[in-house]
Chains A and B, each alone.
Chain A
Amino acid sequence: MTTTTVSGNWFKKFLRSVRIPPVYIFLIVIFLGGGVLDQIFSDGQIFTNQAIFINIIVRSVALGIVAVGQTLVIVGASIDLSVAYVISITAVMSSYIMQGEPANVPKAILVVFAIGALIGLVNGLIITKLHVNSFITTLGTSLIIKGIINATFSNYTGSVPKSFQYFGYSTIGPIPVAVIVLLVVVIAGWLVLSRTKFGSHLYAVGGNVEVARLSGLRTDRVIIGAHILCSMTAVLTGLFLVSRLQSGSPWVGPDGLYDLESIATTVVGGTALAGGKGGVWGTLAGVLIFGVLDTVFNQLGVNPYLKTVLRGAIIVLAVASYTYRSKKEAA
């Protein structure tokens, strides 16, 4: 898993502590393969045009942020299907509160994060205290949110001030702010999982809840915490989307398939759906794989329906390769 380089000990140590998942090889193969195809069949911009490269990452920001949250939840052997509607409610509520006024921005951000935290808390409480399966719980809450949004907002609502669009469009040097935000979220997610007690306990709960309980962990709190954090990342994705779209729409979350794609990228990134194993770096690779695929397909002018078929096939292939590998190791 770790590659040997001449760059010295600290680099090896760093690689080992980060635990670079094998999915990065997959990412590089897809990038190079796509680039070659692009050279042959199209204008070859993937390798030459830096803007395209950055564009891949910018396209990945929205999915990437929420996928980090989803990774936390899945590491804890839970799942969150409600993120798409949390994104929607964030988009409409924030732009409704902002109404184009820069002065309203802090208030809007505060409100949407509070809403996100509340939804995560409710999800976690239902799963741990009422012992409802996480899939059903979050499916239920997402339907509830959907109903509330649809009853209240039917179309684009409000608008965001120019200053808020900074989040979506500005760059620091050549690097877009959004990309920095994504990196910060990924690093934060990594630190939470690898450096905090909470993260450590999350792996334990996801790995074997009985072992965790016998070791004296408060397993319920860990799961609730993961759900709150996950909803917060969905809120952040919602804010990013609204800053780019300039106005909140109720269908922005489900249309982007953020629920299923965040799960798919997490799993493609090597996090076990059964929990206890994985991490955010793998998820980032999963997200970038999706971004690269989209870009390559666009460059090559692939039929959008075929695009979806190929995406599906790649998800299944990637995950099948993991189980094949782990089976081989076991035998």
Chain B
Amino acid sequence: MEEQKKNTEEASAQQEPLMEVQNITKRFPGVLALDNVSLKFMPGEVHAVVGENGAGKSTLMKIMAGAYFPDSGELYLSGKKVSFSHPQEAQAMGITIIYQEFNLLPERTVAHNIFLGREPSTFGIVDVGKMNKQAEDVLKEIGVEKMISPTSLVSSLSVAEQQLVEIAKAISFRAKVLIMDEPTAALTYTEVNLLAGLIGKLKDRGMSIIFISHRLVEVFDIAEKITVLKDGQLVNTVNTKDVTPADLVFMMVGRTLDHYFPPLGKPEDFGEVVLRVKDASNNFLKDINFELRKGEVLGIAGLQGSGRTEMAQAIFGVVPFKTGSVELHGKAITIKSPSHAIKNRLGFVTEDRKAEGIIPMQPIRDNMLLTVRSTQPIFGAIHKDGIRKSRNLVPTLGKQVDIRTDSYDREAQFLSGGNQQKVVLSKWLASDADVFIFDEPTRGIDVEAKAGIHDMIRVLTKNGIAVLMISSELPEIIGMSDRVLVMWDGHIEGELPAKSSEHEIMLMATGGKKDNKYQSLAVAGKE
């Protein structure tokens, strides 16, 4: 690997880097997102940035595109030091970023989107003909004029076509550096090939293409150089031809667990099957099959967009399954809505705390009682701290999950992330659920609160509750799960036993098992 590094450096010495970041450090509350990262990007080069979720990839890209300001460190463009206070400044200097969530106006035409804010006009009258013509020229430049008409509405285009519009927009800015965040995440195989071809063309024009990806197959197909980030630090930058996917996976995950997890369940802790999903499918999921037993934590691993959250939502009735069967407590059931799910003693601790978990402007007390009250008859008596017999539910629960606040009247928005998560948890504890779904239970909270929540999940299972735990953090999956299901592309790719390695999970989660090409690469790497 030393040699590879040398090669890379030699290549760099011959050519002036188009863009360079030096000693970039960025800290968010409670997290060191980037720690002293330095990288060079050459003209005419495709550079992939890989790493686990939370490795700092997106933060680095946003700093390069002017959306974030680094705490320390410098950016250089063609050897000159630059600093951006707004994404527009970066754009004006030729750095364009395409986010995973596109910045397009769906109800406007392709041409309007490409030239938004720069419409060719005389005295405020837009020359639509000229604009369409220019848009067509740009589309021609990237060779997609036959697929996309400048006058089509963006909402009528497929995700891949929308991405091409974003690229066309970047081209029209005369971008020199094009950054793409997970450009292939939502694309089909043929669309990926199209994108790869296009990237090749852009490269030949001397542009520097930087892309973040979780799909190693494509990284190996498209990129010449790969940078691995881990926990905000640069692990290495390598030439693609010098490494194997197996090397890369090792670089991405090679670390020890950094915090204590409660002991896993013992075989005698597991009881009968409480939830059984059979051949269930909907628009996002296909052929979901699994069983969940009393007292176990079933970890759900998979990359973003692999269908993890969709599966949780399907089980909980947010976006129900369309076909297949679900059995709960031994009875076949079709869960049509969340309130139906709660009545059947399901609990769902959601991923997006702000949007789905707490009502920020309501007191902690009312947040904790949401589920209990939802199953109350409309004219049932409500007490300040609970309902019916359990009139002191709030203080009891508060103690149980250890919410740190001076008063339960405080609005939930003023709590720390960890404490907010505890409020969400207590809400579900109050509901009497015996099947819990956790979607990213510890995302964005500090280590101490994390450990507290992990302990609590184990307390739940000890009490005979079954837990389905979705997580992007592999250490969490490995540290907590009695079994692991790995999802990929809307289905369950496979099941792994407790204490499987991060390597095994990642291999399965990147579609390794399915994709022959990748598999052959991976096998080659192991030899």
Inter-subunit contact A208/B283 (CB<8 Å): no
A329 to chain B: closest residue by CB: B155
In angstroms, how far is the closest chain B Cβ from the Cβ of A47?
37
B67 to chain A: closest residue by CB: A214
Task: Please give, as numbers and ranges, the residues of chain A lying within 8 Å of B105 by CB-CB distance.
Answer: 203-204, 207-208, 211, 276
Task: Please give, as numbers and ranges, the residues of chain A lying within 8 Å of B116 by CB-CB distance.
Answer: 200-201, 204, 211-212, 215, 217
A173 within 8 A of B: no
Inter-subunit contact B126/A195 (CB<8 Å): yes
A311 within 8 A of B: no
Task: Please give, as numbers and ranges, the residues of chain B lying within 8 Å of A217 by CB-CB distance.
Answer: 116-117
Binary CB contact string for chain B from 242 to 265 against chain A (1 if under 8 A, 0 otherwise):
000000000000000000000000
Task: Please give, as numbers and ranges, the residues of chain B lying within 8 Å of A200 by CB-CB distance.
Answer: 108, 112, 116, 119, 126
Q: Which of A200, A210, A211, A276 has the most CB of B within 10 A?
A: A200
User: How far apart are the CA atoms of A204 and B118 in the complex, in Å?
Assistant: 12
A328 within 8 A of B: no
Chain A 12-62 residues near chain B, CB threshold 8 A: 16
Inter-subunit contact A207/B108 (CB<8 Å): yes
B116 to chain A: closest residue by CB: A215
Inter-subunit contact A216/B88 (CB<8 Å): yes
Inter-subunit contact B106/A207 (CB<8 Å): yes
In angstroms, how far is the closest chain A Cβ from the Cβ of B19?
20
Interface residue total, chain A, C-beta cutoff 8 A: 23
Q: Which of B117, B128, B283 has the most CB of A within 10 A?
A: B117
B104 within 8 A of A: yes
A203 with B108: in contact, given A196-B126, A214-B87 (CB under 8 Å)?
yes
Task: Please give, as numbers and ranges, the residues of chain B lying within 8 Å of A215 by CB-CB distance.
Answer: 116-117
A211 with B103: in contact, given A197-B121, A216-B88 (CB under 8 Å)?
yes
Binary CB contact string for chain B from 73 to 113 against chain A (1 if under 8 A, 0 otherwise):
00000000000000110000000000000011111100010
Task: Please give, as numbers and ranges, the residues of chain B lying within 8 Å of A244 by CB-CB distance.
Answer: none
User: How far apart are the CA atoms of A212 and B107 in the complex, in Å?
Assistant: 13
A331 to chain B: closest residue by CB: B283
Binary CB contact string for chain B from 148 to 170 against chain A (1 if under 8 A, 0 otherwise):
00010000000000000000000
Inter-subunit contact B126/A277 (CB<8 Å): no
Task: Please give, as numbers and ranges, the residues of chain B lying within 8 Å of A195 by CB-CB distance.
Answer: 125-126, 128
Q: Which of B88, B116, B118 has the most CB of A within 10 A?
A: B116
Chain B 326-382 residues near chain A, CB threshold 8 A: none
Chain B 382-422 residues near chain A, CB threshold 8 A: none
User: How far apart are the CA atoms of A227 and B305 in the complex, in Å?
Assistant: 42
A197 with B126: in contact, given A208-B105, A214-B103 (CB under 8 Å)?
yes
Q: Which of B88, B105, B118 has the most CB of A within 10 A?
A: B105
A198 within 8 A of B: yes
A203 with B107: in contact, given A197-B121, A217-B116, A217-B117 (CB under 8 Å)?
yes
Binary CB contact string for chain B from 19 to 56 against chain A (1 if under 8 A, 0 otherwise):
00000000000000000000000000000000000000
B124 within 8 A of A: yes
Contact for B117 among A16, A194, A216, CB less than 8 A: A216
B108 to chain A: closest residue by CB: A203
In angstroms, how far is the closest chain B Cβ from the Cβ of A97?
32
User: How far apart are the CA atoms of A201 and B121 in the complex, in Å?
Assistant: 13
User: How far apart are the CA atoms of A204 and B119 in the complex, in Å?
Assistant: 12
Inter-subunit contact A196/B107 (CB<8 Å): no
Chain A 230-283 residues near chain B, CB threshold 8 A: 276-277
Task: Please give, as numbers and ranges, the residues of chain A lying within 8 Å of B121 by CB-CB distance.
Answer: 196-197
Task: Please give, as numbers and ranges, the residues of chain A lying within 8 Å of B103 by CB-CB distance.
Answer: 208, 210-211, 214
In angstroms, how far is the closest chain A Cβ from the Cβ of B151?
8
Task: Please give, as numbers and ranges, the residues of chain A lying within 8 Å of B107 by CB-CB distance.
Answer: 203, 207, 276-277
In angstroms, how far is the closest chain A Cβ from the Cβ of B285?
15
In angstroms, how far is the closest chain A Cβ from the Cβ of B294?
36
Task: Please give, as numbers and ranges, the residues of chain B lying within 8 Å of A216 by CB-CB distance.
Answer: 88, 117-118
A198 with B117: in contact, given A207-B106, A276-B107 (CB under 8 Å)?
no
In angstroms, how far is the closest chain B Cβ from the Cβ of A80?
21
Q: Which of A204, A210, A217 has the most CB of B within 10 A?
A: A204
Inter-subunit contact B88/A214 (CB<8 Å): yes
23 A-B residue pairs with Cβ-Cβ distance under 8 Å, sorted by A, are A195-B128, A196-B125, A197-B121, A197-B124, A197-B125, A201-B116, A201-B117, A203-B105, A203-B108, A204-B116, A207-B106, A207-B107, A207-B108, A208-B105, A211-B103, A211-B104, A211-B116, A215-B116, A216-B117, A216-B118, A217-B116, A277-B107, A331-B283
Q: A195-B128, A196-B124, A217-B116 are in contact. List 19 more A-B contacts (CB 8 A).
A: A196-B125, A197-B124, A198-B124, A199-B126, A200-B112, A200-B126, A204-B108, A204-B112, A204-B116, A207-B106, A207-B107, A210-B103, A212-B116, A214-B88, A214-B103, A215-B117, A217-B117, A276-B105, A331-B283
Which B residues lie at the A interface, using CB under 8 A? 87-88, 103-108, 112, 116-119, 121, 124-126, 128, 151, 283
Which A residues lie at the B interface, using CB under 8 A? 16, 194-201, 203-204, 207-208, 210-212, 214-217, 276-277, 331
